[in-house]
Homo-oligomer: A and B are copies of this chain.
Amino acid sequence: MPRKKENKPAHTYQAHRERQRRRILDAAWKLFDAYGIDRTTMAEITSASGVQPSTMYQYFANKEDIVWAILRELMQEVSERSKQRLEGAPNAMARLTALLDFMADELENNPVKVRFMAQFDAIYARDWPAKRLLTLESQINPEGFGVFTELIREGIADGSLRPDLDPGLTMHAVMNAVIGAQRRLASLGEKVELEYGQPIDQLFRETIRVLLIGLRAPEASKTRRSHKRKAVHSRTRKRSA
């Protein structure tokens, strides 16, 4: 039946449900960021989304469900956008750089989303069945970290990365640092800016720069250094919006 009305989504039952769902998720989203997931009540979500509590239960069984739905959307979105960013890159080094650059942009442009992931990591990741999380990850990104590990391997092969790296270990180590730094900065936000006196994404881009130097093959560093730095900095220029 839904197939039939596929073309007039605005008026179909499906479309209506989808719209309601969106309203709920959008409201939840903002509240989670503003007050923390645990401190946001279902009642607040319903009143913010404009639906009745009883109605909400026809869309989500409980708060966990909502969190989970948001998580899925977020991961999907990030996964897609990061893939786009990697597309044009000609070689391993360029793709690695693009990937990290993408994370800096995320921090700059979508701090709320990054913050949500930070919350999730800090509180829920450990509680919720690892299986469920891994399942979700594998649905969204079937290759997982493998792709990135391959990136390091390639870089070593083409001489742009240090030869003494262990691809799997290095990739996890670096990605973890980058994600950790990104989320921490998103969480602390203003606090760091108060302390350091500069927008947080500058700090984050410097982190990336140091890491990349640390990964780069010794000789290569001299030749490309100044070049790289500029690229990073140019992006940073668009400071506090």
Contact = CB atoms under 8 A, between A and B. Distances in A.
Interface stretch (A71-79, A90-98, A191-199): A191-199
Nearest to A39: B38
Contacts of A179: 180, 184
A169 B206 contact: yes
Contacts of A189: 126
Contacts of A125: 187-188, 191
A55 to B, nearest CB: 15
B185 A180 contact: yes
Does more than half of chain A's interface fall in helix, strand or loop, or is it mixed?
helix
Interface string A152-169: 000000000010101011
| This chain: copies in complex | 4
Interface in A30-64: 35-36, 38-39
Contacts of A69: none
A178 interface: yes
- 5 pairs of A and B residues whose beta carbons are closest in the complex: A214-B214, A180-B180, A122-B122, A38-B38, A173-B206
Interface of A: 35-36, 38-39, 118-119, 121-123, 125-127, 130, 133-134, 144-145, 162, 164, 166, 168-170, 172-174, 176-185, 187-192, 194-196, 198, 202-204, 206-207, 209-215, 218-219, 221-222, 225, 229
18 contacts: A38-B38, A121-B122, A121-B187, A125-B191, A130-B190, A130-B191, A133-B191, A169-B198, A169-B206, A172-B192, A172-B203, A173-B203, A176-B181, A176-B184, A176-B185, A177-B181, A177-B207, A212-B214
